[in-house]
């Protein structure tokens, strides 16, 4: 099958590697010629995964029309902040192919899933969400991984599962397209809080406290969106939460540590971390959400104090402990 992946960075590359190794004709689209040259000439993503030899048939182009020509499947693996512009560029060439949404984030404008943004820009297109515990750096090493494919359409889920699934990259199915996206976005926020705890030199007891409170607060939001309880128990739920909160590879956890050390949101998003920390693009939307609810969200409130209002991390953490 002919597959096109639009995006950048390590995750975009890792998904291309999986599809290529599964025997599919896979083309990557990038805005940067350096990406195309590195992948086409040296079979590596020099900037993000320089130590990985990529599949020889995996190609990359900076010409979107050329990359989409004949594509039967389109994968979107762009940072959430770039999804609107990506869809705008995609629309003139889009031919109603199934879209696999592999971005983890939340629509900051109206506090809605990213899939709703795709529907708004392209219409009622076939969407499958791919999410779960899957650090790209481990996927490209062919380490055992399980993800979730979410769609209300069983036939569509099975078709995409056949694309990705192999003995090392496992895929489970879900009908809960909103719940899978919610968990994928908000586990980054909890990881940010775990990183803040690390930066304040707290130990595993404190991290357990954060995880417990975080799961409770996600569950509150999830209940209002009617997400399925089994979603929280899946790779897209507890699995992804564990990976993001515990791994040294977690960019969101590392962003939290930097916040605790006194760096600002602007400094971190401006280049202190080489890749996008999605949590920092969700905090403004969470601040708006908290202003509209009477329910208590102590952990989210702590994060907003630190990220959006530049309250010192220790002070904000102490206030969290008093209120939780």
Which of 149, 175, 201 is at the close of a domain? 175
What is the domain range of residue 286?
180-323
- The answer to whether residues 164 and 188 belong to one domain is no
Task: Spot the catalytic one: 42, 121, 154, 187.
Answer: 187
Q: What is the pLDDT of residue 60?
A: 97
Q: What tokens does 232 get?
A: 């929280």
Residue 272 has pLDDT above 90, yes or no: no
- The answer to whether residues 199 and 142 belong to one domain is no
Coil, strand or helix at 309: coil
- The answer to whether residues 216 and 123 belong to one domain is no
Residue 321 has pLDDT above 80, yes or no: yes
CATH number at residue 221: 1.10.1040.10
CATH number at residue 103: 3.40.50.720
Is 95 in contact with 72 (CB distance < 8 Å)? Answer: no
pLDDT confidence tier of residue 289, bands split at 50, 70 and 90: confident
Range scoring the smallest mean pLDDT among 76-90, 172-186, 190-204, 276-290: 276-290
Q: What is the pLDDT of residue 168?
A: 97
Is pTM beyond 0.85? Reply is yes
pLDDT confidence tier of residue 110, bands split at 50, 70 and 90: confident
- The answer to whether residues 159 and 200 belong to one domain is no
- The answer to whether residues 206 and 153 belong to one domain is no
Residue 186 has pLDDT above 80, yes or no: yes
DSSP characters over 40-96 = HHHSSBTTTBTT----TT-EEES-HHHHHTT-SEEEEE--GGGHHHHHHHHGGG--S
Average pLDDT over residues 104-133: 93
Q: What is the pLDDT of residue 156?
A: 95
Which of 157, 175, 193 is at the close of a domain? 175
Number of domains into which the chain is organized: 2
- pLDDT above 90 covers what percent of the chain? 84
Q: What is the pLDDT of residue 84?
A: 95
- The answer to whether residues 190 and 138 belong to one domain is no
- The answer to whether residues 44 and 107 belong to one domain is yes
- The answer to whether residues 153 and 199 belong to one domain is no
Cα separations (Å) of 191 from 247, 248, 267? 10, 11, 19
Q: What is the pLDDT of residue 249?
A: 86
- The answer to whether residues 138 and 28 belong to one domain is yes
Residue 273 has pLDDT above 90, yes or no: no
CA distance 166 to 188: 27
To the query of whether residue 315 is one of the catalytic residues in this protein, the response is no
- The answer to whether residues 131 and 209 belong to one domain is no
Is 87 in contact with 114 (CB distance < 8 Å)? Answer: no
Average pLDDT over residues 45-60: 93
Which of 150, 175, 200 is at the close of a domain? 175
- The answer to whether residues 61 and 116 belong to one domain is yes
pLDDT confidence tier of residue 149, bands split at 50, 70 and 90: very high
- The answer to whether residues 193 and 164 belong to one domain is no
């Amino acid at each position: 099958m002919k597959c096109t992946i639009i995006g950048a960075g390590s995750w975009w590359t890792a998904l291309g590697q999986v599809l290529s190794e599964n025997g599919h004709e896979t083309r990557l689209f990038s805005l940067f010629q350096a990406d195309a040259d590195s992948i086409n000439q040296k079979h590596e993503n020099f900037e993000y995964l320089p130590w990985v030899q990529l599949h020889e048939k995996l190609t990359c182009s900076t010409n979107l029309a050329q990359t989409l020509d004949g594509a039967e499947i389109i994968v979107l693996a762009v940072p959430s902040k770039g999804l609107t512009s990506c869809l705008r560029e995609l629309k003139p060439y889009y031919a109603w192919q199934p879209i696999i949404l592999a971005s983890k984030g939340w629509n900051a404008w109206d506090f809605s899933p990213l899939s709703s943004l795709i529907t708004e820009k392209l219409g009622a297109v076939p969407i499958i969400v791919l999410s779960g515990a899957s650090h790209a750096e481990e996927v490209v090493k062919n380490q055992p991984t399980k993800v979730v494919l979410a769609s209300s359409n069983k036939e569509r889920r099975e078709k995409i599962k056949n694309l990705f699934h192999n003995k090392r990259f496992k895929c489970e199915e879900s009908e809960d397209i909103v719940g899978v996206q919610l968990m994928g976005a908000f586990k980054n926020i909890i990881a940010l809080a775990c990183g803040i705890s690390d930066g304040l030199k707290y130990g595993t007891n404190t991290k357990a406290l954060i995880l417990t409170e975080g799961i409770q607060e996600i569950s509150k939001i999830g209940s209002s969106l009617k997400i399925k309880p089994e979603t929280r128990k899946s790779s897209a739920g507890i699995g992804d939460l564990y990976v993001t909160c515990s791994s040294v590879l977690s960019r969101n956890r590392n962003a939290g540590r930097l916040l605790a050390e006194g760096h600002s949101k602007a400094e971190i998003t401006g280049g202190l971390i080489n890749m996008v920390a999605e949590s920092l693009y969700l905090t403004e939307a969470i601040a708006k959400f908290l202003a509209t609810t009477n329910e208590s969200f102590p952990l989210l409130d702590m994060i907003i104090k630190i990220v959006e209002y530049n309250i010192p991390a220790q002070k904000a953490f102490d206030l969290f402990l008093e209120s939780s």
